Amino acid sequence: MMNFNTPITQIKKIGPAYAKRLNRLDIKTVADLLFHFPHRYQDFSKITPIGNVGLDDTVTVVGKILDIQNSKTPRKQMNITEAIIEDSSGAIKAVWFNQPFLMNSLRPELNISLSGKTTFSNDALFLSNPSYELTGANTGNNTDALRHTGRVIPVYPETAGVSSRWLRYIIKPLLPLAQKIPEYLPPQILARNNIPPLPNALTSIHFPNTLEEAENARKRIAFGELFLVQLVALKEKMNVKKESAPQIEFDLSLAKDFVDSLPFKLTDSQRSVSWEILQDLAKPHPMNRLLEGDVGSGKTVVAALAAIQTIKAGYQVAFMVPTEILADQHFKGLVKFLEKYDVTIAILTRSAHKKTSQKIKYEPFKISKQRVAKETLEGKIDLVIGTHSLIQETVRFKNLGLIIIDEQHRFGVRQRMALARGNIQNSMQKSAGRDPRTSRNANIPHLLSMTATPIPRTLSLTLFGDLDLSIIKQMPIGRKEIITKIVAPAARNQAYAFVKNQILKGRQAFVICPLVEESEKFDAKAATKEQERLQTKIFPDLRIALLHGRMKGKEKDKIMQAFKDKESDILVSTSVVEVGIDVQNATVMLIEGAERFGLAQLHQFRGRVGRGEHQSYCFLFAKSSSKTTRQRLKALITAKNSFELAENDLKIRGPGDFIGSRQSGMPDLAMASLSDLEFVKTVRNEVEDMLIKDPELEKNDLLRQKYEAFKREIHFE
């Protein structure tokens, strides 16, 4: 008996060879086939009498084969198959190229349905390369039995040896199983949003009667997928609110003293988000907040204010970053911000283990990794900065009150969502002799995530729906705008001369190489060639370093540190150049193949310069001169802020490319829907309404089961 879990090898016509090919599409079971959705449709539903067919019509004709023959063109020896099809109104020729095997199945006197576009040549109208299938004698306008013609035809994602025609042949007989799939959304939600039940949608998405029916089916399935994604996020948000957290009372005099000690004035936006964070810290449940701000907007100083409030309340702070060089950068910055206070700061990475001395005025000195771990457990270290080292089992905290994560998207969505309940929490609780699996009343540390990547509204409502959002919308006063230019091919040498002049003034430059393809190997090769070209032909007297993703972490950190220390003039890099890296002496960002990058990524590259007192520049080189390329790159210059730029980027490239990774676990149709803000809001409103009425999903058993299964599927638990 066939069911959803039946392996595809038990389906008729699927042997080991086809099973291997289908595995490339992640299809292993009947359910995988049913949920392998078309990515577009061809509308062949217009069945037309042959006598009424016109030029350039996309039509379906149904008739009898009068004659069929193979021939070859005289010059190129191309195989041509020609058939004459007749109905009661007339006859028409069908022509196929390089498909001589059709003679084996299409023979005179057989009834056939053909769908395709008509064209005109040699004084004759004919169907060029039409889709076809044999029919019964009385098919007429009855399209129920048709798979490839005479209806709206699904076109699927394919792989070598697996065509859409073959998939239609396999999937259609399985569709009765779709009626056995339980509908997990309550009927009132379906009615309010005018969407069909899941069993009907699953049938219609494969073989719809109309394009409108196909769109409604896609809407229902995308609605369900987004509903589950947001349900996981909002349930997690609710669960976090049930946990206990250290109540870090707002110390007004401390905050005022910290702000007054800064060598610059906070912007109104920095003050606003700081107040939101400090209010959260004072609550009895864990903060779970995302601080979003443009490159150079001053997120670190906001984090430093939250950290000193936490430390002076008697708690420890963990500050996690994606790379060692960023850890070192934050170490130096936080030491500078907090040097007037009696706090101890350590850095714990693969290669650097420093601690600021309370006896010697903030001079860092090296201590062992073991000693950092020991003093952290003893509570002697107030603030620990590190990479993934901070979530290793060997690191324990005596009294952890706040976790800060910089560039949190680099850690992965799942990892970020589970972090407050993960290893850091476990290490804190275990160190106090509590088992986190059985102790529900133990304090959970507050969580502050930070990112310089502008996140479109639809993404913040879904992928980051468990987080409260704070946005720094202003740049610090006096920060110079980066002058951005699109450089025409004829002006390339002028741009090189400008770079040379900047370096002679003592400045430095980045050169970013274009993405070749999704392969570090090829991108590294392209960057290596560009470095060699610049060194031998353009700047032979300058020091040019190379950075790419094929290098090991230590090597990358060494090269980046050397560039920061002015040991090289130009750094040629692939897209691995780190977000947040602060090289204040770098004033020129030159981006090759700019059209290959998304707008948000170009904005991030541009943010690598303009960090210091000198005027900075960004030059965009593009191989394409198309109108679309010019419009995209011009948007980088004219957009009022990075958030507007991110919204444009989402519309142009789509959510999958914008995020750059499917690590979110988000299904494809839900991912595709993230360009539609109103749709995302509608789904979110339904989830919020559901959780108000039934927070534990006790009245919706099928939805609760689907929710639990979905959490396991995306490895959230």
pLDDT above 50 (res 376): yes
pLDDT above 80 (res 625): no
Tens of pLDDT, residue by residue over 2-50, are: 888 899 999 988 999 999 999 999 999 999 999 999 999 999 998 999 9
Give me the pLDDT at residue 640, please: 65
Question: Treating both helix axes as pointing N-terminal to C-terminal, what angle do 299-312 and 268-281 enclose, rounded to 10 degrees?
Answer: 30
Mean pLDDT of 283-305: 89
pLDDT above 90 (res 629): no
Tens of pLDDT, residue by residue over 198-242, are: 999 999 999 999 999 999 999 999 999 999 989 988 998 888 888
Lowest mean pLDDT among 128-132, 433-437, 501-505: 433-437
pLDDT above 70 (res 393): no
391 falls in which pLDDT band (50, 70, 90)? low
CA distance 121 to 612: 67
Write out the H or E segment, with its range, that includes residue 424: helix 423-431
CA distance 11 to 33: 11
Give me the pLDDT at residue 654, please: 63
* CA neighbor of 291 nearest in space, from 458, 476, 474, 471: 471
* CA neighbor of 224 nearest in space, from 246, 199, 245, 257: 199
Give me the pLDDT at residue 427, please: 44
Question: Which domains, from first to last, does the chain contain?
Answer: 1-43+157-178 (1.10.150), 46-150 (2.40.50.140), 301-400+411-446 (3.40.50.300), 483-640 (3.40.50.300)
pLDDT above 70 (res 339): yes
Give me the pLDDT at residue 579, please: 57
CA distance 103 to 112: 13
pLDDT above 50 (res 661): no
Pairwise pLDDT comparison (249 vs 475), residue with the higher score: 249
**DSSP assignment of 617-659, as one string?**
EEEEE-S---HHHHHHHHHHHH-SSHHHHHHHHHHHH-HHHHH
Tens of pLDDT, residue by residue over 428-483, are: 444 444 443 334 446 789 999 888 777 777 777 777 777 888 888 877 776 788 89
Give me the pLDDT at residue 42, please: 93
Helices H / strands E in the chain, number of each: 24, 22
CA distance 553 to 254: 39
249 falls in which pLDDT band (50, 70, 90)? very high
Dihedral sign from CA coordinates of 329, 335, 338, 342: positive
Give me the pLDDT at residue 238, please: 87
Tens of pLDDT, residue by residue over 46-96, are: 899 999 999 988 999 999 999 999 999 887 788 999 999 999 999 999 999
* CA neighbor of 324 nearest in space, from 295, 353, 344, 299: 353
518 falls in which pLDDT band (50, 70, 90)? low
Pairwise pLDDT comparison (109 vs 361), residue with the higher score: 109
pLDDT above 60 (res 350): yes
pLDDT above 60 (res 331): yes
Give me the pLDDT at residue 276, please: 96
Question: Treating both helix axes as pointing N-terminal to C-terminal, what angle do 627-638 and 642-653 enclose, rounded to 10 degrees?
Answer: 160
Query: Average pLDDT, whole number, for the chain?
Result: 84
**DSSP assignment of 162-192, as one string?**
B-HHHHHHHHGGGGGGGGGSPP-S-HHHHHH
Give me the pLDDT at residue 658, please: 55
Half-sphere exposure for 614 (CA within 13 Å, toward CB) = 16
Q: Which residue has the tokens 């006859």?
A: 91
Identify residue 590 by its one-letter amino acid code.
L
Give me the pLDDT at residue 655, please: 63
Tens of pLDDT, residue by residue over 275-291, are: 999 999 999 999 989 89
Could you report how far apart the first and last alpha carbons of the chain are, in Å? Answer: 33
Pairwise pLDDT comparison (382 vs 660), residue with the higher score: 382
Instruction: Specify the 3-state DSSP secondary structure of 443.
Output: strand
